[in-house]
Structure 1
């Protein structure tokens, strides 16, 4: 069982209001320089939204959401401090998350 941690917000917030691209680029460069395998993903309209819908109580989250998913709980906690207007949480899966190549 894999434990995934996430930060979720509206797509507009992540893409227009916060420097998410810069944050993820810096994190990627750090991982490459440390020879670490990438363990985070930026996802539009994540599949687990419906399970979150009740816990979010529809607070400022519309149907166009985005999430940063990671195996690293501390990274998501840091992200919450850096980008405060996100909802964080976790879920478990029997399989490793593999994003589709578009």
Structure 2
């Protein structure tokens, strides 16, 4: 069983008010320099967002949603502190998370 952690916010917020591209680029470079396998995904998949809405009480006014999903709980906690206006959560799955929108 894989445990996944995520932050979720409106796409508008992440794209227009936060330097999300820079944050993820820096994280990707850190993983490459450390010879670590990438264990996070930026998800724009609407069906994933719909599943989140059904399973959690999300208080996000703008639609559509975007999420950053990771196996690394500390990374998600750091993102919550860095971005602030996001919601966090966890879910488990028997298979590796590979959304179509990557």
Normalised by the shorter chain, which TM-score bucket? Answer: 0.7 to 0.9
Distance 1:92 1:47, change over 3 A: farther
Q: 2:14 maps to what in 1?
A: 14
Q: Is the Cα–Cα contact under 8 Å of residues 10 and 64 in structure 1 kept in the other structure?
A: yes
What runs of 5+ residues in structure 2 fail to find an aligned partner? Answer: none
Separation in 2, partners of 1:61, 1:2: 30
Distance 1:97 1:66, change over 3 A: same
Structure 1 residue matching 2:76: 3-state secondary structure: helix
What runs of 5+ residues in structure 1 fail to find an aligned partner? Answer: none
User: Is 1:79 aligned with 2:85?
Assistant: no
Q: Deviations over 1:36-61 (max 9, x none)?
A: 0000000113534334325335x233
Separation in 2, partners of 1:19, 1:101: 20
Q: 1:26 maps to what in 2?
A: 26
TM, length-normalised to structure 2: 0.87
Q: Is the Cα–Cα contact under 8 Å of residues 8 and 68 in structure 1 kept in the other structure?
A: yes
Number of matched pairs: 101
TM, length-normalised to structure 1: 0.87
Q: Deviations over 1:25-78 (max 9, x none)?
A: 000000000000000000113534334325335x23333000000000000000
Instruction: Give the CA deviation at 1:93.
Output: 0.8
Q: 2:65 maps to what in 1?
A: 65
Structure 1 residue matching 2:47: 3-state secondary structure: coil
